[in-house]
Structure 1
């Protein structure tokens, strides 16, 4: 645990008693704060009471008398589509609002670091797609090369739940826009933006607000080095804002699909080959095609980001390549479940939006595609250019028929439930084809999370008869 600094003897309120809220409350107490908590749901309040915390309804200005700060869990809206009543009450009371990420960055460094030979470092990864894989891959490469590392944030452990840093350790954080948007301290040593595509638009009042939340990771603390995916205009804009000149290697540009060979530092992948350029010269390359844990162009983009981060941390190309070859992939992210009778079953339940699903569809040919769920804003038009790899779609979800109607030109069968979709796809599939779960939608119409949806897919696949 990371004891929170700066609140000893003060009363701090925590809103939201999920994983991050409970960890924040414990870390605040460990640092000497008096903690009061609240959750809008009875289950959260019951969990807090069971953990021994004092409950206080924070929906009135008076409830913040004597409170120094309000710490908010990432799932709770603080501005759009409307501020949570407790957050609005904190504003009225003049109480600063922060989150666990802000607490982490103000508390991670301690006096113990004075005796370390190598100062610990923090790598923070954000983006619309690929940030989980990128963060996990960086962590894997570091461990495989003998560098101590912990993985936390939106993946793995909560940021305040990790162990205090060791000499030379690298903390790898995956941070969502919900986490970067509110944190009052954001000071990573390396910051990574994988890419940007429309997502969580209701929470950020549009794409501009969403990009602004991501941009805070680079603008607020000024990382020593920034790695920016420049395949979208927003990434090009951000990279340009951060440089002092064309040869400024504090910014590493990343791309999947186009060559970057200018005077600065860049890492890109084309046709399955990763290349590193510095000052106009190639200084490293990796053939990514045989790496089973990183299939498809979208994973090659993740590989570029992880490679660049590890190079910035001082690792050599050969050590990075060897570690990539042993990377097993993440559950629910292009995860090979089984190969049966020449048919591969791939679980990409994390593909919850159009952009990530489009990348999944490009990664394989001859796809039996299981899709559908709680559709996000913007429709499915972005998928239409990528349906040429789809032999047939098997649509699940409560609104499966409406979802299927948008897949113009595709052979689509309404299945509604996962067990029916898996059974139909397996019965139809021929050797050399892929049965791919890549929903292009959120899970909440039928499942508590994308993980639960992916687990159901795996169970249906493993229980199906060949």
Structure 2
């Protein structure tokens, strides 16, 4: 645990008692603060009370009196579409509002660091798509190189649940826009921006607010190095804002598909090859085509971002290449679940929006596509240019019929459930085809989260393949 500093003997209100909220309460207590906990959910309050924390109804008049700071969990809106009533009251009283990320950055460094040979460093990764894979890949590369490393944030543990830093350790954080928009301290040593596509727009008041939340990691944080994906206009804008000119190697530009030669430092992937260029010449190249844990152009972009971040930490190209080859990928993100009779079954349940689904569809040929769930604004009409490899779609969930209307003449079947979709796709798939779950929708109509949806897909695949094996026997 990282004890929170600066609030010993003072009252700190904590709103939201999920994973990060409870971790925050423990860290505040360890730092000597008096934590006042509240969640609108009775179940969440009961869980906190079972752990020994008293809860205080922060909605009551006067409940925030004497509070030094209000710490808010990431799922609770602080501005758009409207701030939570407790946050609005804190604004009205002039009480600072922060989150666990802000507390982490102000509390992580300690006097113990004075005795370290190598100062611990923090790498923070944000963006719309690929940030989980990029974060996990950086952690994997560092671990394979024998570097002490911890991973937290929007993946794995809450940031305040981390262990105190060791000599030379690297902490890799995945940070969502919900986390970066509110943190009052953001000081990573290396910051990574993967890409930007529309998502969470109601939470941020539109695309500009969404980008502004991501940009805070760089504008507020002032990292020593910035790794910036420049395949979208926002990334090019951000790279330009941070650099003193094209030769400024404090900014490492990253692309999947575009050759970047005229910059002080760039890493890009083209035709399946990663290339690193510095000061006008190529210094390294890696063949990514046969790395099973990183299929498709979107994962090649993730590999470029992770490669660039690890190069800033002193790792060499060859040790990074070896670690890339041993990376197994993350569950629910282009995860190879099974292969039978020349048919591959791939779980990309994390493809919850059109952009991430498009990347998954571009990663494979001859696809039996399982899609659907709780569709987002605009549905899947924007996927039309990316359906050329789809042999047939199997549509599930709340938006199945809406999606069917948006895919035109593409062969499809409304299956409603995952069980039927997997069974029908497996029955009709031929050697060389991929049965791909890339829903392009949220999961909340049938599952509590995308992980459970992916787990159901995996279970149904194994069920069907087990039955096929039994029938063959």
TM-score range relative to shorter protein: over 0.9
Report the Cα offset of residue 70 of structure 1: 0.5
Q: Which residue of 1 aligns with 2:95?
A: 95
Report the Cα offset of residue 60 of structure 1: 4.3
Q: Which residue of 2 aligns with 1:72?
A: 72
Q: Which residue of 1 aligns with 2:426?
A: 426
Q: Which residue of 2 aligns with 1:242?
A: 242
Matched-pair contact (CA < 8 Å) for 1:60–1:89: no
Query: How do 1:16-415 and structure 2 match up within 5 A?
Result: 16-60=16-60, 62-415=62-415
Report the Cα offset of residue 404 of structure 1: 1.5
Q: Alignment length, in residue pairs?
A: 466
Mapped to 2, the partners of 1:451 and 1:197 lie a distance apart of: 22
Matched-pair contact (CA < 8 Å) for 1:194–1:302: yes
TM-score by length of 2: 0.98
Matched-pair contact (CA < 8 Å) for 2:375–2:398: no
Mapped to 1, the partners of 2:450 and 2:61 lie a distance apart of: 37
- After superposing the two structures, state which structure 1 stretch, 378-387 or 52-61, moved more: 52-61
Mapped to 2, the partners of 1:418 and 1:72 lie a distance apart of: 36
Report the Cα offset of residue 341 of structure 1: 1.3
Matched-pair contact (CA < 8 Å) for 1:380–1:406: yes
Give the secondary-structure state (helix, strand or coil) at the position aligned to 1:304. Answer: helix
CA offset digits 1:343-362 (Å, max 9, x no partner): 10000000001011000000
CA offset digits 1:366-406 (Å, max 9, x no partner): 00000001111233222110100000000011231112211
Give the secondary-structure state (helix, strand or coil) at the position aligned to 1:321. Answer: helix
Mapped to 1, the partners of 2:258 and 2:180 lie a distance apart of: 29
Mapped to 2, the partners of 1:157 and 1:61 lie a distance apart of: 34
Report the Cα offset of residue 263 of structure 1: 3.2
Matched-pair contact (CA < 8 Å) for 1:334–1:348: yes
Q: Which residue of 1 aligns with 2:471?
A: none
Report the Cα offset of residue 61 of structure 1: 5.0
Give the secondary-structure state (helix, strand or coil) at the position aligned to 2:63. Answer: helix
Matched-pair contact (CA < 8 Å) for 2:296–2:363: yes
Mapped to 2, the partners of 1:272 and 1:450 lie a distance apart of: 29
Q: Which runs of no fewer than 5 residues in structure 1 stay unpaired?
A: none
Matched-pair contact (CA < 8 Å) for 2:396–2:418: yes
Mapped to 1, the partners of 2:386 and 2:429 lie a distance apart of: 19
Mapped to 1, the partners of 2:8 and 2:205 lie a distance apart of: 37
For the aligned residues, what is the CA RMSD?
A: 0.8
Report the Cα offset of residue 142 of structure 1: 0.2
- After superposing the two structures, state which structure 1 stretch, 406-415 or 207-216, moved more: 406-415
TM-score by length of 1: 0.99
Mapped to 2, the partners of 1:370 and 1:42 lie a distance apart of: 36
Give the secondary-structure state (helix, strand or coil) at the position aligned to 1:62. Answer: coil
**Which stretches of structure 1, 4 residues or more, deviate above 2 A after TM superposition?**
none
Matched-pair contact (CA < 8 Å) for 1:332–1:451: yes
